């Protein structure tokens, strides 16, 4: 790793530590990292949108021979002008007098979105799921393929659990009948099914959050700490460990300062205010 | 104040500190834990492993650096498996902050291809992976749902140029490659709701074989699509990546992280149990005090 890359890696390590410092309490380092992230993301997204959306789709049409057409004036696709005009019409929202114009592109956008979404979403999320729930129970492999396997999602038992679970969970949201007797029992079982689902989501979420922390540990170890002490690196010089220990020093100074401030507050609280 | 009251008033920062110390110890300690392979991950591996040379696998990398901890391991393992088996890879990045990261990942994997390796007892020679021949990176376009629908007609509609600005028609790999019908499968690796679009607008509309790799947070919500056969495989979070690395015999960051995950989960389970004991004991104590007060 050359020194310039290591400089950026050290900055990445600083931002990692600054972000994790929020677990202790809000502080200027965290605020800096947070604002930098928000600004950087917005800036990066704007540039990506400019180069991947507006330039190739609106401004220029690039040809195989390397030449480009300015789409609005001399293009094989002059109809690109129509969405461009619709896009410009959206900006009238900033004017009180002309903001009604923006309703036209908005209406078209919502219409296209709904038209594309409704049949496809209905098919993928409702019809297919209903069809999967209504399949014949696999009695041959009721307890799993190749012996008893509770985790086999294709076994007859799993199909039965999914069928009963879905029915009971739906019953919980059926409010036209009082939840008493059989309906009440089914609704109660439905709650349990929902809770198990939320529990599974929570478990996966815990894994996800720990994964992020582990990844940062791997980054700090593999890319920062090891690079700072990699004497086999042909570019290695005193600057590498200097940067490393400088950042460590900042962390240590911050921790010591917090301990001192905390102890000071504790002493003031125990002795009481001086009148 | 008894132990249960103390338990309920413990500063959460002590929990964080304890967890951090334990994670660091588990990370530094050099040991491995066995990885249990789930059939929904194995089905993806087997699908790719049995593809003939020259097939094209489509990998939409719809995530940004915020999700790379969980999703990069599966991307690395799958793309390297494809390239080692001389399967071509088509890539998009439909998350706005993802294209640069995806490009870097492809370069990293291409670099690792320059080293001969042995996976699952099969030796693969070193080989240079060529952009436009072994893979095409189409990049980013806004509005994923519309892009997915447009690619169903022709990849050239939303992407006349690839990420590097080369006209797609001039790339050798894109000859004869027009839409989803020309692909072996698509494996969507996503940290956003783009997976919903791939299921509804991609697989739902065009019917190609689809598998997904998603973050841990959203894994549970996609299992119904596995049961209905709309997807043929699912990799959930870092665990999914670790399982794939194990199957591909290509250990990486995910498999390395599993021992830390194990200890972190044990600690969290212990804290959840302690918290519940403390909560119920406090409730019981309060009720008893209320009864005695009457």
Contact A124, A110 (CB under 8 A): no
C-beta atoms of B167 and A48 within 8 A: no
Backbone angles phi, psi at A250, to 5 degrees: -60, -45
Contact A80, A57 (CB under 8 A): yes
- Chain A environment of B170 (Cβ under 8 Å): 64
Residue A275's pLDDT is 45
Q: How far does CA B54 lie from the centroid of its chain? A: 24
C-beta atoms of A215 and B253 within 8 A: yes
The continuous run of DSSP H or E covering B101 comes out as helix B99-112
Res. A74 pLDDT band, cuts 50 70 90: low
Percent of all residues in chain B with a pLDDT value above 90, rounded to a whole number:
72
Q: Is A41 in the B-facing interface, judged by CB distances under 8 Å?
A: yes
The continuous run of DSSP H or E covering B263 comes out as helix B253-293
On the question of pLDDT at B50 being above 80, the answer is yes
Backbone angles phi, psi at B59, to 5 degrees: -120, 95
Residue pLDDT, tens place only, A120-171 = 999 999 999 988 888 888 888 888 877 887 777 778 888 888 899 999 999 9
List all residues 6 or more positions away from A272 whose beta carbon is below 8 Å from its beta carbon.
Answer: none
- Chain A environment of B228 (Cβ under 8 Å): 128-129, 131-132
Res. B32 pLDDT band, cuts 50 70 90: confident
Contact B243, B2 (CB under 8 A): no
**Pairing status of strand B210-214 against strand B88-92:** unpaired
List all residues 6 or more positions away from B54 whose beta carbon is below 8 Å from its beta carbon.
Answer: B86, B87, B88
- Chain A environment of B97 (Cβ under 8 Å): 41, 44-45, 48
Report, as an integer, the average pLDDT of A93-112. Answer: 92
On the question of pLDDT at B77 being above 50, the answer is yes
- Chain B environment of A44 (Cβ under 8 Å): 96-97, 100
Contact B174, B134 (CB under 8 A): no
Tell me if residue B190 falls in helix, strand or coil. Answer: strand
| ipTM given for this complex | 0.89
C-beta atoms of B219 and A204 within 8 A: yes
Residue pLDDT, tens place only, A174-215 = 999 898 999 999 999 999 999 999 999 999 999 999 999 999
Contact B26, B262 (CB under 8 A): yes
C-beta atoms of B204 and A216 within 8 A: no
Report, as an integer, the average pLDDT of B189-198. Answer: 93
Nearest to B101 by CA among B67, B58, B54: B67
Res. A273 pLDDT band, cuts 50 70 90: low
Residue B165's pLDDT is 84
pTM for the model stands at 0.88
Please state, in angstroms and rounded to a whole number, the distance separating the CA atoms of residues B30 and B256. 10
Res. B12 pLDDT band, cuts 50 70 90: confident
B184 sits in the region (left: phi over 0; alpha: psi -120 to 50; else beta) called: alpha
Among A162, A206, A208, beta carbon nearest to B268: A206
Handedness of CA A55, A56, A59, A65 (dihedral sign): positive
Q: In this predicted model, which residue has the larger pLDDT, B275 or B129?
A: B129
Q: Where are the alpha helices (DSSP H) in chain A?
A: 3-20, 28-49, 81-90, 103-121, 128-133, 156-172, 181-218, 226-228, 239-271
Length of chain A: 275
Residue B161's pLDDT is 86
Please state, in angstroms and rounded to a whole number, the distance separating the CA atoms of residues B81 and A209. 28
Which residue do the tokens 């309703």 mark? A103
C-beta atoms of B205 and A64 within 8 A: no
- Chain A environment of B13 (Cβ under 8 Å): 23-24
On the question of pLDDT at B213 being above 80, the answer is yes
Exposed, middle or buried by CB within 10 Å (0-12, 13-18, 19+), for A108? middle
Contact A224, A244 (CB under 8 A): yes
Among A49, A52, A132, beta carbon nearest to B229: A132
Res. A52 pLDDT band, cuts 50 70 90: confident
Residue A99's pLDDT is 92
- Chain A environment of B256 (Cβ under 8 Å): 218
**Number of H-type helices and E-type strands within chain B:** 11, 8
Among A41, A197, A208, beta carbon nearest to B97: A41
């Amino acid at each position: 790793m050359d020194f310039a890359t290591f400089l950026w890696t050290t900055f990445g390590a600083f931002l990692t530590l600054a972000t994790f410092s929020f677990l202790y309490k809000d502080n200027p380092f965290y605020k800096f990292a947070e604002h930098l992230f928000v600004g950087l993301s917005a800036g990066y997204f704007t540039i990506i949108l400019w180069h991947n959306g507006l330039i190739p789709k609106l401004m220029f049409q690039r040809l195989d021979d390397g030449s480009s057409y300015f789409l609005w004036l001399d293009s094989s696709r002059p109809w690109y002008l129509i969405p461009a005009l619709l896009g410009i019409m959206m900006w009238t929202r900033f004017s009180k007098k002309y903001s009604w114009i923006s309703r036209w592109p908005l209406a078209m956008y919502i219409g296209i979105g709904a038209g594309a979404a409704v049949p496809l979403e209905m098919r993928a999320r409702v019809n297919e799921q209903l069809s999967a729930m209504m399949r014949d129970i696999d009695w041959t492999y009721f307890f799993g393929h190749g012996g008893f396997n509770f985790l086999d999602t294709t076994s007859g038992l799993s199909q039965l659990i999914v069928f009963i679970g879905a029915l009971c969970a739906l019953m919980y949201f059926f409010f036209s009948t009082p939840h008493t007797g059989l309906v009440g029992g089914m609704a109660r079982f439905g709650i349990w099914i929902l809770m198990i689902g939320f529990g599974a989501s929570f478990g996966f979420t815990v894994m996800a959050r720990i994964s992020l922390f582990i990844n940062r540990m791997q980054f700090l170890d593999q890319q920062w700490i090891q690079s700072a002490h990699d004497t086999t690196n042909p570019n290695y010089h005193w600057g590498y460990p200097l940067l490393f220990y400088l950042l460590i020093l900042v962390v240590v100074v911050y921790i010591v300062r917090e301990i001192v401030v905390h102890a000071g507050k504790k002493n003031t609280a125990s002795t009481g205010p001086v009148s | 104040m008894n132990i249960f009251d103390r338990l309920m008033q413990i500063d959460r920062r002590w929990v964080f500190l304890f967890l951090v110390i334990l994670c660091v110890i588990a990370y530094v300690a050099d040991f491995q834990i066995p990885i249990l392979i789930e059939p929904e991950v194995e089905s993806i591996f087997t699908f790719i492993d049995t593809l003939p040379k020259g097939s094209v696998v489509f990998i939409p990398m719809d995530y940004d650096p915020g999700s790379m901890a969980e999703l990069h391991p599966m991307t690395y393992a799958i793309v390297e498996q494809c390239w080692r088996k001389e399967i071509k890879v088509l890539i998009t990045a439909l998350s706005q902050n993802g294209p640069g990261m995806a490009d870097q990942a492809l370069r990293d994997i291409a670099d690792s291809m320059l080293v001969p390796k042995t996976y699952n007892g099969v030796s693969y020679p070193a080989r240079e992976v060529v952009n436009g021949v072994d893979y095409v990176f189409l990049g980013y376009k806004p509005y994923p749902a519309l892009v997915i629908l447009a690619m169903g007609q022709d990849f050239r509609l939303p992407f006349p140029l690839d990420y590097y600005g080369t006209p797609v028609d001039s790339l050798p790999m894109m000859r004869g490659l027009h839409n989803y019908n020309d692909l072996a499968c698509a494996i969507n690796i996503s940290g956003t709701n783009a997976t919903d679009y791939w299921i509804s607008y991609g697989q739902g509309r065009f019917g190609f074989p689809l598998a997904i790799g998603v973050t841990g947070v959203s894994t549970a919500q996609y299992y119904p699509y596995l049961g209905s056969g709309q997807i043929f495989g699912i990799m959930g979070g870092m665990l999914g990546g670790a399982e794939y690395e194990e199957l591909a015999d290509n250990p990486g960051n995910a498999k390395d992280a599993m021992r830390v995950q194990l200890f972190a989960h044990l600690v969290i389970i212990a804290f959840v149990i302690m918290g519940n004991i403390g909560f119920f004991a406090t409730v019981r104590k309060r009720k008893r005090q209320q009864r005695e007060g009457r």
